Structure 1
Amino acid sequence: MTISRRAMVKLGLALPIIGISIIAYSASREEKVESSLDPCVIAHILLYTPEVTLGGQASLSALVINRSFDERECIVDLVVDNYVVDSKKVSIPPLDFAYVNMSFKPSREGMYVLDIAGFQSLLVARAPPPKPPVLELPEELKKKFQSLLPGAVSFEEVTTGDKVYYKGFDSKGELLGYLFQVTALGLTDKLLVTAAVSPDYKIVAIDVEPAPGADHLFNPDIATSKFEDQFKGLGMNDLALKPQGKIDAVTMATYSSKAVVEAVRSYLQAIMQS
């Protein structure tokens, strides 16, 4: 087949136009592909605790990357059971990243799948522990406990070996501390010692008084704040008479002072070991 001179001229004029069209189409196609890619990318997620109690809240964070050359407003959705339970917007500079904090409060016991852009973590929700039974203490003992551990409204009895002590709870059921009452015997004194201990096993306060039926004390100073206040804030290592510990014995009542210290130490040790 032969091509006329006229046809060759037309073809020569058309080729540049075709080339330009192909280049323009290719550039347009690349631009469309690039614009179809989401510039906001989730790199990973971190669930801070895999288990929560009902009524509590699970916290997690997502690492979001902006891979474009412009600042972007990225939207992060936390999906649980096919529902968006938390959504955050964050502005990220070009080619930069940000951590986005999310939260979820489970409404039932069981396992949940927390999903952010296909990244998943498992969360277990458990029922809260049962509340301790309400213990009806004798009114006088209850008032004594509450004077030493303010805010305690309910109590739970605990038996360990031959000792009985009590846990004190506030109105929300949170543990405030431990309490006990014990008899300490000096040479001639019979003392009733009541004490409160913090959750980290430090003495909150103690009260010393004559035990029932023992109206006379050899030195009444042992039942005053001057002696009692020395116990405040002390832990096991400091509960001893000086120089081994931090407590000054009451003059003319060294044996009674030691008896009080040993009684408190004995109960504190039992509480710490139970």
Structure 2
Amino acid sequence: MSAPSTSCRIDVFWHDGMLDHDTGKGVFDTGMNPGFLEVLEKHPENSDRIRNIVSILRKGPISSYISWHSGSPATIHQLLSFHSQEYVDMLIEADKNGGHHAQPTQADGYCFFNNAGLAVQLALDSGCKKVLVLDIDVHYGNGTAEGFYRSDKVLTVSLHMNHGSWGPSHPQNGTVDELGEGEGFGYNLNVPLPNGSGDKGYGYAMRELVIPAVEKFEPDMMVLVIGQDSSAFLKLNVVYPEVACYPPANRNCLKRVNI
């Protein structure tokens, strides 16, 4: 079998420091021991999960398509491109986990720093005029949306479970009326899906709502937030009962935007 062409390769940036994040054990994700459990469960965001992902990429069926590169920790200057100084100062000694729920001034949903938001800001600072964020995590990508809620340079699109707000750390509802503010009005597209929507509902939303919005925006670059809880294999997923939602998402992205 011949080696994949350069255009078909996937660049993966990795640093072993990603395994240093220790979320501890307890009752699911509380980190507490009530004193009567035989086995304390690991938090879902644990290093074993990351090790398995890396192992799949290195040894699995797509390994020949992957080019590995050495990653490096984000600098304080890079963190401040999305997050506030006060928030960064508070977290320097606390944690370094990343994800799409983290907002400019607070943590949320297992997420402390927002890697998607940092990637978008880096793209803008590097000369991109317009950047698309397409988030197919089963939960609303509220942190990324909040970071660019008043910008017309970033179109944030999120397909997610219709879960609404879950408290002070997640005040956004993810509803269709959250459209952005000021110059960013009309540049935040929320597609809340009812439980059990399945692949047909997902496909319809992509064809009728997402793709037209992306084509109208004409982005220079796309940041795709996959979100593993969109998989049928994760118990948090009650929207997409089949893992097949991933292939159509990939096809729709690759046809229209150079990543």
Structure in which a larger fraction of residues adopt strand: 1
TM score, norm. by length of structure 1: 0.28
Bigger relative contact order (CA 8 A; separation at least 6) = 2
TM score, norm. by length of structure 2: 0.29
Structure in which a larger fraction of residues adopt helix: 2
Asked which structure has the greater CA Rg, the reply is 1
